[in-house]
Structure 1
Amino acid sequence: MAERGPLTGRVALVTGGGRGIGAAITAELARAGAAVALTYRRDRAAAEELAGTLTGEGAAVLPVQASVEDPAASARAVEAAVAEFGGLDLLVSNAGIASRGLPVGETTAEEVSRLLAVHAVGPHQLVRAALPHLRRHARSDVVVVSSVAAGAWSAGGAPYAMAKAAAEAMAHVLAREERGNGVRVNIVAPGLVDTEMGRRLVRATREGADIRALDAGSPFGRVCTPQDVAAVVRALVDPACAYLTDQRVVVDGGTF
């Protein structure tokens, strides 16, 4: 069995928790002692492989298929976590998709609606489903994984930036609404991260360049990793970090 960690006794739900940043967050929380339900949309193999690895280390991990843009699926994921582990006191809204990188004048309403559904409306309804459970604890946490895009306003990124900004607005309001119920709400905003999405972005904007080619010009000699982001999420929900809410932590090595 895994050794008792600082998050032992806590139950987490991580959306998009089977790959990329979400997988790193799942692993970080599980190895710190939390029981973790992770959601995935299509890549069942990756989710089950991660769950199997962590379970083999003595952690308690439950993969659940759920699309964040489907409120009913999110509600089922919340109930699955509660049924499996007896409660829920830590929610990480991480699932996301990229936009096509087109200028405003060439972007359809359908693309904007899809990005808003995944990054803003879906997380809003996920939180709504989770709140009755979160409120039952003396301390609970919601962490919204956003992006520096909500503030950088880069050309070609309107749908993504709009959606992330909307998610951040929800988080700030939620922090003020739920403080009296013991719910801490914070935002983690990464820059470029070495994930599948990050690698696709680099190839699209730098004529097929490999993301590793950016290491030398990046802070500390490397591009940000999923583990860098996961470590910040883990720190925010640590028992020692009890007086922090309504904050936005940028994880980009100081470049933005």
Structure 2
Amino acid sequence: MTGARLAGRIALVTGGSRGVGRAVAKRLAAEGAAVAVNYRRDAAAADEVVKAIEAEGGTARAYAASVDDPAATAELVERVHADLGPIDLLVSNAGTASRGTAVADTVPEEYLRLLRVHTLGPLALIRAALPGMRAAGRADVIVISSAIVDAAPSGGAAYTMAKAAMEAAARTLAHEERAHGVRVNVVAPGLVATEMGERLVAASVGGAIAELDASYPFGRVARPGDVAGVVAFLASADADYLTAQRILVDGGGPDVPIVSGG
């Protein structure tokens, strides 16, 4: 373990088995938090994250639950509480990509699908966790959104709208819950070198993410660890006076059009 500034914290990371979620789970554990690694289907990937954390002396357990199922997320909160303790650090990271259709061709069901995963499901999870978070004295909700909200690229309306809706809810929640000691902040990555990022690049411009590095700030596309570092900071005492903030993790914005989010 690299430090202990999050010692004693109980963290739940949704979508924690791969990509940004995996990096966040490992970083929070390295900072001393006990981490509940949520996943939807890939139990083996989640178990690998848990084993990696335990190998470094940390504490972690894997939990299956789909974030768009309110009953499943309510049960998830109860299970984490029973196993690790009451959640006082919730990182809402789980997500799914849109089908990339134009507004004129996007059916209502697609908007609802994305809203359930990126907005309505996370809000149900937060509601389930709030009683314990309010009792903690210091608690954090950190929402992983996307720089795509700013870019609003063609073909991304369903995804962009769902992320924007969650950001609006997060800012509102921040104002409502600060009397209870709950901080709520948004982290919005640009393109990140993950499996999802690779698929987005292949579908939109062809090729691989590595081929874009030279045209991005500081000579590279963002890495999952870049996002994880910001999340760990927001959960720490160093960010004790921050809430209702949105932090872009995009190197200041690429000099080429953004492909898609994190």
Match of 1:229 among 223, 227, 230: 227
**What whole-Å deviation, never above 9, does each CA across 1:31-66 have from its counterpart, x for those lacking one?**
100000011001111000110111122111010000
Structure 2 Cα separation of the partners of residues 58 and 76 of structure 1: 27
Mapping for residues 106-117 of structure 1, pairs under 5 Å: 106-117=105-116
Contact 2:89 2:139 in 1 (8 A): yes
Kept in 1, the 8 Å contact 2:3–2:30? The answer is no
Aligned-partner SS, 1:246:
coil
Percent of aligned pairs with the same amino acid: 56
Give the Cα separation in 2 of the matches to 1:195 and 1:163. 21
| TM superposition shift of 1:4 | 5.8
**SS at 2:187 equivalent:** strand
Task: Spell out, residue by residue over 1:38-96, the C-alpha distance to the aligned partner (whole angstroms, 9 max, x if none).
Answer: 11001111000110111122111010000000011111111111111122110000000
Instruction: Specify the alignment match of 1:251 in structure 2.
Output: 249
State the SS of the aligned residue for 1:240: helix
The code of the aligned residue for 2:140 comes to D
Task: Please tell me the residue identity of whatever aligns with 1:111.
Answer: E
Output one character per residue of 1:147-181: Cα deviation in whole Å (capped at 9) or x when no partner.
Answer: 01112111110000000001001100100000100
Distance 2:173 2:2 in 1: 34
TM-score by length of 1: 0.97
Q: Which residue of 1 aligns with 2:133?
A: 134
2: distance between equivalents of 1:246 and 1:109? 30
SS at match of 2:154: coil
State the secondary structure of the residue aligned to 2:6.
coil
- Residues in 1 aligned to 2:98 and 2:39: alpha-carbon distance in whole angstroms: 19
Corresponding residue of 2:24: 25
C-alpha RMSD over aligned residues: 1.0
Q: 1:94 matched to which residue of 2?
A: 93
Candidates 228, 236, 241, aligned match of 1:238: 236
SS in 2 for 1:58: coil
Alpha carbons 2:189, 2:250 under 8 Å: kept:
yes
Q: SS of 1:52's equivalent?
A: helix
Residues 198-251 of structure 1 deviation map (CA, whole Å, 9 limit, x = unaligned): 111110111x31110001001000110111001000011111210000000000
2:122 matched residue in structure 1: 123
Moved segments of 4+, more than 3 Å = none
User: Which secondary structure does the structure 1 equivalent of 2:239 belong to?
Assistant: coil
Give the structure 2 partner of residue 153 of structure 1. Answer: 152
d(CA) in 1 for partners of 2:202 and 2:52? 31
Which secondary structure state, in structure 1, belongs to the residue aligned with residue 233 of structure 2?
helix
Separation in 2, partners of 1:96, 1:86: 25
Structure 1 gaps, min length 5: none
Q: Counterpart of 1:21 in structure 2: which amino acid?
A: V
Partners of 2:21 and 2:2 lie apart in 1 by 23
The TM-score, its normalising length taken from structure 2, stands at: 0.95
Q: How big is the shift at 1:3? A: 6.7
Give the match for residue 41 of structure 1. 40
